[in-house]
Structure 1
Amino acid sequence: MATTTPPQGCGIGVSSLYYNLCDLGSAWGIVLESFAGAGVVASFVVLVVVLASLPFVTDKNRKNSVGLLVGFLICTLGLFGLTFAFIVGKNLSTCAARRFLFGVLFAGCFACLLMQCVRLNLLARRGQGPRGWALCLGALGLWLVEVVINTEWLIITVVRYPLPPLNATAALGVATDTPCNIANVDFVMALIYVLNLLLAVVVAAVPALTGKHKQWRQAGAFILLTGLLSAAIWVAWIVMFVYGNGKKGGPTWDDPTLAIALVTNAWVFLILYIIPELCSLTQEEEEEGQPGFGEDLYPSRGVGYETILKEHSGQNMFMENKAFSMDEPNSGNKPVSPYSGYSGQLRNSVYQPTELALISKGRVNGNGLHRKPQW
């Protein structure tokens, strides 16, 4: 039985299936696994942070998007993990994972982004978005379409009508398994639905930038930028995978092309959408037209208090004016004797008991003047 010498950087006991993970001669595998491993750790940390910050989300409009964000994070984590299937060699398991999960994971990401665009469009125009369970059901329905397509595609091409070996690079006998016998054009054609989802994300993100509620435009701008960069990445890898590899590098460039596309697009998702969405998750946005903190916080209570003050001040002024009118002598009256007109003044005026007593003793006249009795 012939044995092969392991490349530089790989030990003797390492299987030839994993040479790309340690081969120093082809550094693309080591570089990509480093970026993919860092992406797995970062996605898991962000997922934990999102779940931990859920009790602190007070805005119901932002809380409704947590379900979509968690689903998007899980799919992004899967993209980083799927990169290792394209770095290692081909066998039955890795080829089946490549063909099935590539479209399924991207469809999950784009379905969540599309439902986020629907949510932002409603928020930007009406100020109120749909409920979280409705958004999750919509994303789940869009994602299940791709699951059905890929499942049917695998059943038809692998079980019922297996194709003959297409690649002649199976010197070790690991690339002749049926799931690996797929042409590059067929692999791309199976992703037509995913491309439609990507196009829908770009188109649906534009109206969110023109709504009357401006606080949601930033999230729409990040989704639009994410969709545009993802579209550019997809155009680049499809052109390279279908045309460039056949003319320049051959089949040996297929795995690096797809692995680079996975890692690059996953990091675009993480940096341009997930992190900004996480930073704005716990923000408390004030609605337009609503009073700020400390400004007319209890308007009805303030109005009542001011009304009471006005009524109280009015009563005081009335009492003061009344007392002033009682003490002030009439300008038309002439000076009279202190003993004259008591009966008439008593009938026309109201006096306190002490004033009546003083009047009776002759110390206070009817006009409120203190005078000694004249005997």
Structure 2
Amino acid sequence: WKNYSNLSVMIKLYLVLQKQTPGEMGSTSAPKGCGSNISSIYYNLCDLTTLWGVVVEAVCAAGVMTSFILFIILMASLPFVTDKKRKGMVALQASILVFTLGLFGLTFAFIVDQYSTSCAARRFLFGVLFSGCLACLVMHALWLSLLKRSGRGPRSWLLWLGALSLWLVEVIINTEWLVLTVVWSPPGEIVVPDLSCSIANKDFVLSLIYVMVLMVGVVLLAFPSLSHKHQQWRRDGAFILATGVFTIAIWVVWITMYIHGNRVAGNPSWDDPTLAVTVALNAWVFLAFYIIPEICLLTTQEDPDLEEPHDGEHVYPARSLTYDSTAPQNLYIENKSFSMDETPEEPANSTSPYGIYNGQLRSGVYQPTEIALITKG
């Protein structure tokens, strides 16, 4: 009887999920803005009566184009970057642009209705794409903290490998979670199609704990760089901190609405719009608060360490490089101080006031005169 009861439950679940197959066309006519030959699962992309899908679709399309243009600008700016330290961050910024472009593409999976492919993409790519962006921000913030403490940070390829390692952790977590809950099933049980769409909202949020840890890491690591001695590095820390704070605020709002708010409002069907708006809005936060300011600073800022003179380098005063053609007598008097104590007599046919200078040094240290510096230059 126990097996029979489990079999009845599985059959009921199968009949419910069969209603979500992508090939099924709605019995009603197509909504305004959609053609009659379009499947019902794509109605949100063209339905002019609800509008939320059309608006989010337009915002994501603009985000895709913006991300692509920014990526081209970032790559084209590399030959003109004078700051080697800032140039080393280009790999992380290019990676964030790729992940942000993926977030805009993922939004379309939340606009269309649920079926096996879209649900699997939602469950796997949501955490993977967000963790990729946040891992790069964590490594950039860590680099700024190390730069403040020791005066130099790790090399760019080490930072990129660190971000890759942090990102692969979420990839492994989501892969195992997807395999255990969708692909693998105990022997002897009925395989239910579209099982990836039957996940509870709380389970979906709990699968993103690692992404939330990365958010907190971004904020905590960005704080020390706000007190850096150079203003341009303080700006980088402020950009990272603003991105992390806005990301946390967005996630607090959507998690509250996704788990509790939509059901209290009596409209659980707004779960998909909530996630679609979250992904699109957060992707624009990555562009507006981090990528665009960093690209603007990429070619306009110079290395502050190059502006300071190196230790041990002797810099002659500015007045020693000035030649006053109106007062040759003063130069003559100063040059006499560099001659030997036993000054030879001035030749009778000498016309130059510098003829008595024999070129010998007064001591073992070379002391150039103004005219010697000008002649050498």
Sort the TM-score into its range (normalised by shorter chain). 0.7 to 0.9
Counterpart CA distance in 1 for 2:225 and 2:119 is: 39
Task: Look up the match of 2:199.
Answer: 182
Task: Look up the match of 2:172.
Answer: 148
**Residue 267 (structure 1) aligned to one of 280, 284, 295:** 284
2:304 aligned counterpart, secondary structure: coil
**Residue 232 (structure 1) aligned to one of 249, 252, 257:** 249
CA positional deviation for 1:38: 0.3
Task: Look up the match of 1:102.
Answer: 126
Counterpart CA distance in 1 for 2:26 and 2:93 is: 51
Task: Look up the match of 2:158.
Answer: 134
Structure-2 change in CA distance of 1:55 and 1:288 (3 Å): closer
Task: Look up the match of 1:284.
Answer: 301
Look up the equivalent residue of 2:263 and give its one-letter code.
G
Task: Look up the match of 2:224.
Answer: 207
* 1:260-285 deviations in Å (ceiling 9; x for gaps): 10011111111011000000111333
Residue 137 of structure 2 corresponds to residue 120 of structure 1: no
Counterpart CA distance in 2 for 1:213 and 1:102 is: 37
The answer (yes or no) to whether the contact 1:115–1:139 under 8 Å persists in 2 is yes
Structure-2 change in CA distance of 1:302 and 1:7 (3 Å): same
Give 4+ residue runs of structure 1 displaced > 6 Å after superposition. 309-312
1:229 aligned counterpart, secondary structure: helix
Counterpart CA distance in 2 for 1:151 and 1:49 is: 34
Number of residues of Structure 1 aligned to a counterpart in Structure 2: 312
Which deviates the most, 13-22 or 142-151? 13-22
The answer (yes or no) to whether the contact 1:8–1:23 under 8 Å persists in 2 is yes
Look up the equivalent residue of 1:149 and give its one-letter code.
I
Structure-2 change in CA distance of 1:312 and 1:189 (3 Å): farther
Look up the equivalent residue of 1:132 and give its one-letter code.
S
Structure-2 change in CA distance of 1:11 and 1:131 (3 Å): same
TM-score (norm 2): 0.75
* 1:239-264 deviations in Å (ceiling 9; x for gaps): 00001122224431110000010011
Structure-2 change in CA distance of 1:313 and 1:221 (3 Å): same
Task: Look up the match of 2:81.
Answer: 57
Counterpart CA distance in 1 for 2:280 and 2:208 is: 18
Counterpart CA distance in 2 for 1:25 and 1:228 is: 35
The answer (yes or no) to whether the contact 2:205–2:255 under 8 Å persists in 1 is yes
CA positional deviation for 1:306: 4.7
Task: Look up the match of 2:4.
Answer: none
Structure-2 change in CA distance of 1:2 and 1:122 (3 Å): closer
The answer (yes or no) to whether the contact 1:121–1:208 under 8 Å persists in 2 is yes
1:280 aligned counterpart, secondary structure: helix
Residue 238 of structure 2 corresponds to residue 221 of structure 1: yes
Which deviates the most, 106-115 or 119-128? 119-128
Look up the equivalent residue of 2:63 and give its one-letter code.
G
Structure-2 change in CA distance of 1:140 and 1:314 (3 Å): same
**Structure 1: 5+ residue runs without aligned partners?**
163-174, 328-350, 354-375
Counterpart CA distance in 1 for 2:338 and 2:33 is: 101
The answer (yes or no) to whether the contact 2:143–2:153 under 8 Å persists in 1 is yes
TM-score (norm 1): 0.75
Task: Look up the match of 2:270.
Answer: 253
Task: Look up the match of 1:68.
Answer: 92
* 1:281-337 deviations in Å (ceiling 9; x for gaps): 113335268359xxx9xx757479959x99985554688x989x989xxxxxxxxxx
Q: CA RMSD in A?
A: 3.3
Look up the equivalent residue of 1:261 and give its one-letter code.
T
The answer (yes or no) to whether the contact 1:213–1:288 under 8 Å persists in 2 is no
CA positional deviation for 1:15: 1.1
Counterpart CA distance in 1 for 2:131 and 2:162 is: 13
Question: What are the residue-to-residue correspondences of 1:10-25 with 2, within 5 Å?
Answer: 10-25=34-49
The answer (yes or no) to whether the contact 2:82–2:302 under 8 Å persists in 1 is no
Structure-2 change in CA distance of 1:52 and 1:178 (3 Å): same
Which deviates the most, 201-210 or 233-242? 201-210
Counterpart CA distance in 2 for 1:2 and 1:216 is: 56
Structure-2 change in CA distance of 1:73 and 1:137 (3 Å): same
Bigger Rg, structure 1 or 2? 1
The percentage of aligned residue pairs carrying the same residue is: 53
Look up the equivalent residue of 1:98 and give its one-letter code.
R
CA positional deviation for 1:232: 0.4
* 1:58-106 deviations in Å (ceiling 9; x for gaps): 2110011000000000001111110000001111111110000000000
Task: Look up the match of 2:208.
Answer: 191
Structure-2 change in CA distance of 1:216 and 1:13 (3 Å): same
Counterpart CA distance in 1 for 2:231 and 2:47 is: 52
Look up the equivalent residue of 1:156 and give its one-letter code.
L
Look up the equivalent residue of 2:262 and give its one-letter code.
N
